[in-house]
Structure 1
Amino acid sequence: MEYRTLGKTGLKVSRMGFGGIPIQKIDEEGTRKLLQDMVKRGINYIDSARGYTVSEQYIGYGMEGIRDQFVLATKSMARTKEAMAADIETSLRNFRTDYIDLYQVHNPSMEQLNQVIGEGGALEALLEAKNAGKIGHIGITAHSTEVFERALTLDWVETIMFPYNIVEQQGAELIRRCGEKNIGFIDMKPLAGGAIEDGALALRYVCSNPDVTITIPGMAEIRELEENQKACENQEPLTKEEEEKIQAVRDQLGTDFCRRCNYCAPCSVGIQIPSVFLFAGYLQRYDLEQWARDRYSTLKVKASACIGCGKCEPRCPYHLPIREKLKICAADFGE
């Protein structure tokens, strides 16, 4: 396993880390097995968030006895000092530890970022926790290039997390600037939120960029750890055949697809918008019609229930025409 220095934090992290979203669908014992296997493989970086339901708790259970083997990172959507201080304490309890290596401001808008750094904002709690030894370093995550660019100018930002993959290139130049400023760059959504089926190809592509410090694919099975690690450890230059496959993925997906970040929620009538788009993707792109229809049938509220209120669209960091896309999904699925 290759190791990198995570920018000005000085932390030594494995080139591939562990994204803690998918473990929400397993259990504590399953998480323990994953983390124990990670120790054997030399994967030492764990990413979670206050918003990932039971993820922090499962990881805390799984780290019992091996906490010192990991660089532990989490994040909070708190914007005020009081709320952030409370979230930090909750994270410490969930992780069953007395320190967290990296605590991040989770996906603020420009307006929310101003609140975070203003008087009584979340940054005050983060700095106090850092001075008290409860957290080691402070970072920020974003989906907006505007926020990314602003974060590069903030002296307290030690790491930045942003989507980067075969089809999402909007942050490429800003990622390069992270290196110039000695800010660790953490790559999220290397598989474009599951839209890229060839995980090995996707990770090979991401790791071919020297400006990416670490990538954090979400994993819930040891098989995924093994496959993803193999792809990330392959440091051979991309072959001509791989380059052709990469272009084919770009041609197939384009830029108009849902990354399942769920920031469009809540829907006024209860449509699970990311799930609708996920199943539609399998129906429309991967020739898995019956599987897609079976999954779609489990949704309590179908795409056809959309009332066109438009409340979801301003929340989407990718500016997708959600209402129009839901109409297409309703037509394709027939309900």
Structure 2
Amino acid sequence: MQYVELGRTGLKISRLGFGGIPIQRIDQPGTKALLKAAHEAGINYIDTARGYTVSEAWIGQSLEELGLRDQFVLATKCRALTKAEMQQQLALSLENLRTDHIELYQLHNPSLQDLEQILAPGGALEALLEARDAGVVGHIGVTAHLAAVFEKALEVPEFETIMFPYNIVEQQGAELIERCAKAGKAFIDMKPLAGGAIEDGRLALRYVLSNPGVTVAIPGMAAPEELAQNVQAAENTGALTPEEEDACSRVRKALGTQFCRRCNYCAPCSVGIQIPNVFLFQGYLNRYGLADWGRSRYASLPVKASACVQCGACEPRCPYNLPIRQMMKKAAQDFGE
């Protein structure tokens, strides 16, 4: 296992982390077994979130029962915008994770407007800074799905880490990853397998980890065979072979006509549909094995896919020429609304 510094935090972590989203579909004993195996394989970085239902609690209980809390760097996140909300959410994270400190606490996928509130007086950042001064939080980061938020986060000195999607098919953050490294911020790669759309997990992780700008990749794991495959893929972080490059090209061609990269160039929708979020939640429904969670996230959208009037204004804006109208029909069918 390769280990690197997490930006300028002083923390030394494995380049392969443990993504805690999919454990929602197993149970706490299964989580405990996975974390034991992850530790034995040399993984020492765990990613979870307040929004991942039971993930924090099962991870916390498992680490306590295994006696391994101090062997892992814990990273979690929440969507709080105000100081009061963050104080409440942080307290819940500490309780769930059964710990008195969390190495990395992140603002979870704020919009540009959300970020303004977070950074303003009385915003969530105030609570995290106070928690950091008190030793409850070690470091502060942010996660994003939109390149504009990633770019803005680069300008915020308090953010020591930035998490963003990057994989064989999602390249909208490639240039920003380089800027992240130059700014001394760690880059945490979410969705290295494109939410399960890339079937060859070994190739997907080889591609991501061959980029020296990627500090750590956090593929979701819910089965021992997934863990073993990911560990094996992380053993070689050198440059891709010509054969692997060709294989990556084939993956791009296969997914290029059907995969949303969440660049948001399709916006604004004429009826207010959050197009990238529809496709993101559809991925949880169909690929991650998290149907209930995908449906609950989709239910929170103010305008559903069925509201699409098929005007087609979004399609010329898509740099990947996605058939968005057709894809929106399929999403409406999948969710039933």
Aligned to 2:191: 189
Structure 2 residue matching 1:4: 3-state secondary structure: strand
Which one-letter code corresponds to 1:36 in the other structure? Answer: K
Report the Cα distance in structure 2 between the residues aligned to 1:277 and 1:44, rounded to whole angstroms: 28
Structure 2 residue matching 1:182: 3-state secondary structure: coil
TM-score (norm 2): 0.81
Instruction: Report the Cα offset of residue 306 of structure 1.
Output: 2.3
Structure 1 residue matching 2:16: 3-state secondary structure: coil
Aligned to 1:134: 136
**Pair 1:307–1:28, CA change in 2 (3 A):** same
**Pair 1:171–1:255, CA change in 2 (3 A):** farther
> Which one of the candidate residues 100, 103, 106 is aligned to 2:105?
103
Structure 1 residue matching 2:8: 3-state secondary structure: helix
Asked if residue 149 in structure 1 is aligned to residue 181 in structure 2, the reply is no
State whether residues 258 and 277 of structure 1, in contact with CA within 8 Å, keep that contact through their aligned partners in structure 2: no
State whether residues 305 and 328 of structure 2, in contact with CA within 8 Å, keep that contact through their aligned partners in structure 1: no
Aligned to 2:268: none
Report the Cα distance in structure 1 between the residues aligned to 2:333 and 2:156, rounded to whole angstroms: 47
Gapped regions of structure 1 (runs ≥ 5):
261-266, 282-294
Aligned to 1:76: 78
Report the Cα distance in structure 1 between the residues aligned to 2:214 and 2:286, rounded to whole angstroms: 31
State whether residues 162 and 188 of structure 1, in contact with CA within 8 Å, keep that contact through their aligned partners in structure 2: yes
**Pair 1:328–1:305, CA change in 2 (3 A):** closer
What is the correspondence of 1:86-101 to structure 2 with a 5 Å cutoff?
86-101=88-103
Report the Cα distance in structure 1 between the residues aligned to 2:235 and 2:87, rounded to whole angstroms: 38
Report the Cα distance in structure 1 between the residues aligned to 2:244 and 2:178, rounded to whole angstroms: 23
Structure 2 residue matching 1:157: 3-state secondary structure: coil
Aligned to 1:59: 59
Report the Cα distance in structure 1 between the residues aligned to 2:93 and 2:25, rounded to whole angstroms: 19
Instruction: Report the Cα offset of residue 331 of structure 1.
Output: 8.8
What is the correspondence of 1:173-252 to structure 2 with a 5 Å cutoff?
173-252=175-254
Instruction: Report the Cα offset of residue 308 of structure 1.
Output: 3.0
Report the Cα distance in structure 2 between the residues aligned to 1:276 and 1:105, rounded to whole angstroms: 23
Report the Cα distance in structure 1 between the residues aligned to 2:92 and 2:72, rounded to whole angstroms: 19
**Pair 1:322–1:80, CA change in 2 (3 A):** farther
State whether residues 2 and 15 of structure 1, in contact with CA within 8 Å, keep that contact through their aligned partners in structure 2: yes
Instruction: Report the Cα offset of residue 309 of structure 1.
Output: 7.1
**Pair 1:38–1:124, CA change in 2 (3 A):** same
TM-score (norm 1): 0.82
**Pair 1:222–1:125, CA change in 2 (3 A):** same
What is the correspondence of 1:117-132 to structure 2 with a 5 Å cutoff?
117-132=119-134
What is the correspondence of 1:29-48 to structure 2 with a 5 Å cutoff?
29-48=29-48
**Pair 1:191–1:127, CA change in 2 (3 A):** same
State whether residues 280 and 329 of structure 1, in contact with CA within 8 Å, keep that contact through their aligned partners in structure 2: no
Aligned to 1:263: none
| Paired-residue identity, % | 58
**Pair 1:173–1:276, CA change in 2 (3 A):** closer
Structure 2 residue matching 1:130: 3-state secondary structure: helix
Asked if residue 22 in structure 1 is aligned to residue 22 in structure 2, the reply is yes
Structure 2 residue matching 1:238: 3-state secondary structure: coil
Aligned to 2:301: none
Structure 1 residue matching 2:234: 3-state secondary structure: helix
- RMSD (Å), alpha carbons: 3.2
Instruction: Report the Cα offset of residue 326 of structure 1.
Output: 3.1
State whether residues 175 and 212 of structure 1, in contact with CA within 8 Å, keep that contact through their aligned partners in structure 2: yes
Instruction: Report the Cα offset of residue 222 of structure 1.
Output: 1.6
State whether residues 74 and 104 of structure 1, in contact with CA within 8 Å, keep that contact through their aligned partners in structure 2: yes
Deviations 1:287-319 (A, max 9, x none): xxxxxxxx9xxx9x9xx9924379xx99xxx99
Which one-letter code corresponds to 1:210 in the other structure? Answer: P
Gapped regions of structure 2 (runs ≥ 5):
263-272, 299-303
Aligned to 1:290: none
Aligned to 2:160: 158
State whether residues 277 and 329 of structure 1, in contact with CA within 8 Å, keep that contact through their aligned partners in structure 2: no
Report the Cα distance in structure 2 between the residues aligned to 1:218 and 1:86, rounded to whole angstroms: 27
Instruction: Report the Cα offset of residue 79 of structure 1.
Output: 0.4
Report the Cα distance in structure 2 between the residues aligned to 1:128 and 1:278, rounded to whole angstroms: 35
Report the number of matched residues: 302
Structure 1 residue matching 2:156: 3-state secondary structure: coil
Instruction: Report the Cα offset of residue 327 of structure 1.
Output: 2.4
State whether residues 151 and 157 of structure 1, in contact with CA within 8 Å, keep that contact through their aligned partners in structure 2: yes
